[in-house]
Amino acid sequence: MPRKVAVVGTGQTVCVMRREDASFPGMIYEAVNRALKDAELTLADIDAIVFGSSPEYFEGVNHPEKWCGEASGGFLKPQFRIHTGGTVGSSTGIAGYYHVASGLFDVVLAVTGDKLSEGPVQLCLSTVYDPIFGRDFACGAPSAVAIQSRRYMHKYGITEVQAAKVAVKNRKNACNNPYAQLKFPDITVEMVLNSPVISSPLRMLDVCPASDGACAMIFACEEKAKKITKTPAWVKGVSAVAEGVNYVNRDWAEPIALIKAAKTAYSQAGITDPRKEIDVAEIYEAFTYQELIWSEGLGFCGPGEGGKLIDEGVTEMTGELPINPSGGVLSTNTIGATAMMRQVEAALQVMGKAREVYEGKEYNRQVEGAKIALAHGWGGAIQFHNVMILSSNPD
């Protein structure tokens, strides 16, 4: 049986299109320091470091865990790098959890980030495609997700308007998150539908931005967690599931890896009715349609009911199950830190800390009374899915 583990501190940098005031290691250092400060710990309290970032092509520096080793607090400590494409952020969090749950380490810091402004992101993403069958046709991430989205629309009669509503909801939510990049308080469905087509059916406003930013979180065993904070976010379920490589042999509109990941995490956490029992979810919607597809995979509604979910306002801040109060990936996407930000934001919700004063301004994205939160990560061309369930209650 794994040990009980909690998130006891988190730190995010502000995410912007280009951080000119900090290098990549500088951003990592910033996130680590914020997490340590949040938990009121020092590096002396940290037993091991797990570092995660995206393909090296993004920053053009190979072996980035070497580059960022000291910045991540790893001097003379056990250090590992994790990489699983878009899921790298949540995989790094899960690896941090595994370190503590195993009983081998008591307090572990996990940190992730990327500085996407340093290189040509979509060109680099195109190198993720199969060199023989995919590369000649690749157009960054959008072309594959466009094919997924079109299939999903066709299979269930999902509309552009329903997808646009996701863009509106999340970009408005982002206004309540001091770390988010895109904040559109006045965005409308019409604006989304009038934005230029990138790769049909995806329009400019259906697509996430590219961000510079970093994120860190600290995991602790039960005994330490209770001493470190009055509000630990207990890890109640964790799963990481992968399926096959690009393109072949899949129903684009049915995320089988996510369905399995969700079932596994729910079973660990004792969740039988996810829509009722989960108070808030942070999911990896790099593209509008994906929030609907992933909601189905997570069992928040039945297959094909993702459109209805957004139409009925279920996932709004005022709804039964708010999704992405942070503004989600549609508002901020560093890739490297993105899926960890889902875990951090979910942890903040059950800690009751999703409201704060940042640089003199008040931001509130707290779902009142949130006790159970879900964090999801997606990566590798519809291939990898991670789910983590966090709770305010250790038992």
Binding site for other proteins (CB under 8 A): 20-21, 60, 120, 122-123, 126-127, 130-140, 142-143, 146-148, 150-151, 154, 196-202, 244-245, 247-249, 252
Question: Shortest gap between Cβ of 258 and other proteins (angstroms)?
Answer: 17
Closer residue to other proteins, CB minimum distance, 44 or 132: 132
Question: Shortest gap between Cβ of 254 and other proteins (angstroms)?
Answer: 13
Closer residue to other proteins, CB minimum distance, 260 or 353: 260
- CA 357/CA 364 separation, integer angstroms: 9
Cβ distance 191 to 276 under 8 Å? no
Cβ distance 37 to 57 under 8 Å? no
Closer residue to other proteins, CB minimum distance, 122 or 268: 122
Closer residue to other proteins, CB minimum distance, 118 or 277: 118
Question: Shortest gap between Cβ of 190 and other proteins (angstroms)?
Answer: 20
Question: Shortest gap between Cβ of 124 and other proteins (angstroms)?
Answer: 9
Closer residue to other proteins, CB minimum distance, 53 or 143: 143
Cβ distance 394 to 231 under 8 Å? no
Closer residue to other proteins, CB minimum distance, 19 or 365: 19
Question: Shortest gap between Cβ of 154 and other proteins (angstroms)?
Answer: 5
Torsion of CA 371, 364, 160, 319, to 10 degrees: 40
Pairing of strands 384-391, 233-242: antiparallel
Question: Shortest gap between Cβ of 251 and other proteins (angstroms)?
Answer: 9
Question: Shortest gap between Cβ of 135 and other proteins (angstroms)?
Answer: 7
Question: Shortest gap between Cβ of 146 and other proteins (angstroms)?
Answer: 4
Closer residue to other proteins, CB minimum distance, 118 or 356: 118
Q: Which amino acid is at 17?
A: M
Question: Shortest gap between Cβ of 210 and other proteins (angstroms)?
Answer: 13
Cβ distance 6 to 101 under 8 Å? no
Closer residue to other proteins, CB minimum distance, 201 or 274: 201
Closer residue to other proteins, CB minimum distance, 258 or 374: 258
Provide the 10 A C-beta neighbour count for residue 60: 10
Cβ distance 242 to 86 under 8 Å? no
